[in-house]
Amino acid sequence: MAYGNGIAALGDPTRRTIFELLGVGPRSVGDLAGELPVSRPAVSQHLRVLKDAGLVSESRVGTRRVYRVEPEAVAELRTYFDEFWTQALAAFKTAAESELEGEQHGSN
């Protein structure tokens, strides 16, 4: 049940942008900061949150740190909304049917 942290982590717009940038391919911190309207430390802090949520992982290359998306975490979120959608749709149908029960063959 780590998806909760994931959704919360992606709640922030800046963090979601970072995540989407990493979705294209791995990147360094300064590189990311270069494309964002916030300071580099801010990006570092966002990356920490994403990392704690298991959405991204870090690897050191020389003096810089490269972050990349963790596909498994995304898969979890995907599954969550997938199942939720199925369930919501079923509930939607059920609700529509029980509405009809009250008016039997009412045309409207």
Partner DNA sequence: CGCTTGCGTAAGTGTATGCTTACCGTAAGT
Partner DNA sequence: ACTTACGGTAAGCATACACTTACGCAAGCG
2: contact with its own copies by CB under 8 A:
no
The helix (H) or strand (E) run that includes residue 7 is helix 3-9
E strands present in 1-108: 27-28, 56-61, 64-69
Residue numbers 19-48 binding DNA by CB under 7 A? 28-31, 37-48
Give the position of tokens 């916030």.
Answer: 38
CA 2/CA 96 separation, integer angstroms:
33
Site size for DNA, by CB under 7 A? Answer: 27
In the complex, least distance from residue 82 CB atom to its own copies, rounded to whole angstroms: 6
71: contact with DNA by CB under 7 A:
no
In the complex, least distance from residue 2 CB atom to DNA, rounded to whole angstroms: 16
